[in-house]
Structure 1
């Protein structure tokens, strides 16, 4: 496949500060940390390092903005117009945002383009969704009327991961501000740059000062602190399951609302009556898209015994043709690993599989990419001859690694799919619609993909079962997670009520 480098002007700068109360500010202790380019391993920019004092400042700014009510009491149509303006500005700067996302995350051009576009569409979706998000009038016996109001929850701390920096920022910010909440966004320390720029765009579009704040720094320090902060009404977290449990425990001390989108070990079921070529192509995308650094990556591949050999021959052959290279080249399929530390984690999983007797059918080590020798690269890896007790089958690897097993029949396929602590997503490949519907109903996962590798679109609920978390994002129902429902009961009779007959 030929490649051509896309010429785009970057929004990159050397220094990025936080934004608190509408103002660009450094950390209270004047410290900065370095954000790196994963593809090259080189420093990219300096970013302000927040302290607990900065978190306090951000909560205060958000609280003032919420309590004064300029945003939450603004007409819905005005909020909707502002949301659309955010999207419009992002569209006008699309290429800049894509390049910055690539530089800070190491992801491929096609992946970054798709994710930045979805971030834009998230704001557009919620600009429309908020117009019809309202309470209801409920029937009551006698001369009474009941109606409900949807009121913004308050100040929301939002903590996002490094694998989808701009898209996750949009998933969090858009529904929260659509209903009138104020937010403090805490992006991952590895990838804060596009989230900072998105916050700047929110202000450029007319979001009042203090409604969207962003603090950058160590999650174990400021992220954890926000989870227990008395001035925060809700925590929305996307990330690793263990961290999610810790956040939930801290938030419970003040009975904060919590939304958690956590880890996954998603199954991919290929039945013998599927379109094998489509299943191969979809399965490749399901695990190697975004370099496998996706919570819903289909990292457990189960193929029906009768088509296993035919499937694997094509699957391995096409995996060999995946291109690792310059993330800015349109022909690159697989980008860099986010950090050297994550690369070592991935490699340790692969080595553990070898030690337990598995077979490395493809890959299984660091990749060498011309011109990017100091970057963090790992070969697309396929592991066979595994069993359900192996570490690589049970635990989330978060890299371009898939484990492959077989199943005999539908009953065993469902059993294997559900044999996990997680329940974020699953894929089913079959031409039998009745079977697909039946199996989808039995799999314990929040998102089921049938004959498609795509899992998330604006308007479709995304979230998990079991230890993959709770709450749904990306959909109309998300608005309810950022609102309180107030019930108002009104007496409409002509005579005063006298319940005690006094």
Structure 2
């Protein structure tokens, strides 16, 4: 069994309180490693290291071009260690090894992209309305950033948050989920090998209400970037507001996957199945609400159930497995509770609806891929994020009703639209109040495209050039060439 340590100021260090937490393999149900149970003292040490390197350390004096080279070397280090890191993530969160390896092979591209973008943040010279004066803007790093990441894709979330933050010149303190911290701690040492100066990137672990809260409240932290539950995000937002910290929040979703009767139904069925049962539904972008036109609802439901029955549960390390276990026991119990809630509200279970057992399903955290029909949009199963393999089928008659149902939730992260009518596709993308709309596809993703939500799905954007500016402050400079004092300085200065 491996015992991990915090990564602070370029070195592995024991937790100040000398306490560790068990981390469990969700497939086998066995403890396989220990991670530090961090405290406010550990949080303070990490923030102090980050602040120092921004104030007078090598990160503060390094040019943007030099920073970019370091980021590209981090990408190289991830690429060389992709197999090992993917195995660790699968063991930590139970997601398919094939998916984790696919992510780890893509993650270096984020670091290459922001490495190239590091020296492309240009200010502007303004045609100022004053004589003998030059006015221009610059962009400066916002300060120490705390990155709070979720358990379902730890290293991808680090890339989303830390690559643009470091490109902007910030230093970061990462607090991964206590349920999946190992890969983040392994990754930290790779950044030093890539030439990242000590203190620029720190990783501390433990419970959110202990070390996580201490980081959010720390006076030397300028920005919080969080991915996770909307209830936690709201608390972070409230706490950060007391000291005017900047925040980026990537929270929950209850996303509609909308199928019209003119769609390619085979392709739509594949998109719906992968959109809800991929990663056992443990995705913020899960298409958990299927809105299907009533004229094809029965036919499409049969097609969907037939396809979903081909889903194979099992060992996430096996190439034959398409759905692994639920990542944590509390989440497993939550999913089962929502199945009971759906039945109690009158939804009709047409597939699954039970804990999954059988050969190869060890560890006790598997749930059958579940489909509910006869769902109305006011049911809890249609309004609340489950984060599990549960699909709700809701019928609609026309485009207007599809839009109304699609928007009738507190979330606004993503939506899918399946139609062969280009005019309808354009109208739907404009009408759906979400951050991303996929037309005739689902779960498409790119480091080049901004990603984020509206409403209670969060604030800010990750990916693309927009993400870089989440970590920069704009400074306006007025440079006067006038040597003579104005006749009345108390008036002229403000005219």
Report if TM-score (shorter chain) is over 0.5. Answer: yes
Unpaired segments ≥5 residues, structure 2: none
TM-superposed deviation, 1:109: 2.1
> Match for 2:270 among 268, 273, 281?
281
Classify the secondary structure of the residue corresponding to 2:295.
Answer: helix
Partner of 1:114: 102
Partner of 2:12: 24
TM-superposed deviation, 1:154: 0.7
Aligned ranges for residues 42-81 of structure 1 at < 5 Å?
42-81=30-69
Q: Does 1:454 align with 2:408?
A: no
> Match for 1:468 among 435, 457, 475?
457
TM-superposed deviation, 1:342: 0.7
Unpaired segments ≥5 residues, structure 1: 1-12
Worse-matched range after superposition: 305-314 or 18-27? 305-314
TM-superposed deviation, 1:139: 1.6
**CA–CA distance in structure 2, aligned partners of residues 373 and 25 of structure 1:** 35
Asked whether the equivalents of residues 369 and 377 of structure 1 are also in contact (C-alpha less than 8 Å), the reply is no
Partner of 1:208: 197
**CA–CA distance in structure 1, aligned partners of residues 249 and 329 of structure 2:** 27
TM-score under structure 1 length normalisation: 0.95
**CA–CA distance in structure 2, aligned partners of residues 435 and 335 of structure 1:** 36
Q: For 1:285-313, what per-residue CA distance to the aligned partner results, in whole angstroms no more than 9, with x for missing partners?
A: 11111110011111011001112122111
Partner of 1:357: 346
Partner of 2:317: 328
Partner of 1:174: 163
Q: Does 1:95 align with 2:83?
A: yes
TM-superposed deviation, 1:155: 0.6
TM-superposed deviation, 1:254: 0.9
Asked whether the equivalents of residues 36 and 44 of structure 1 are also in contact (C-alpha less than 8 Å), the reply is yes
Asked whether the equivalents of residues 9 and 49 of structure 2 are also in contact (C-alpha less than 8 Å), the reply is yes
Asked whether the equivalents of residues 186 and 215 of structure 1 are also in contact (C-alpha less than 8 Å), the reply is yes
Number of residue pairs the alignment of both structures matches: 489
Classify the secondary structure of the residue corresponding to 1:72.
Answer: helix
Worse-matched range after superposition: 68-77 or 434-443? 68-77
Asked whether the equivalents of residues 93 and 180 of structure 2 are also in contact (C-alpha less than 8 Å), the reply is yes
Asked whether the equivalents of residues 256 and 416 of structure 2 are also in contact (C-alpha less than 8 Å), the reply is yes
TM-score under structure 2 length normalisation: 0.96
Q: Does 1:489 align with 2:478?
A: yes
TM-superposed deviation, 1:492: 4.1
TM-superposed deviation, 1:69: 4.2
TM-superposed deviation, 1:372: 3.7
> Match for 2:370 among 364, 376, 381?
381
Partner of 1:341: 330
Classify the secondary structure of the residue corresponding to 1:448.
Answer: strand
Q: For 1:337-375, what per-residue CA distance to the aligned partner results, in whole angstroms no more than 9, with x for missing partners?
A: 011211110010011111111111111111124234224
> Match for 1:151 among 136, 140, 155?
140
Aligned ranges for residues 126-137 of structure 1 at < 5 Å?
126-137=114-125
TM-superposed deviation, 1:499: 5.0
Classify the secondary structure of the residue corresponding to 1:484.
Answer: strand
Q: Does 1:192 align with 2:181?
A: yes
Partner of 1:4: none
**CA–CA distance in structure 1, aligned partners of residues 327 and 180 of structure 2:** 9
> Match for 1:36 among 7, 24, 27?
24
Asked whether the equivalents of residues 73 and 180 of structure 1 are also in contact (C-alpha less than 8 Å), the reply is no
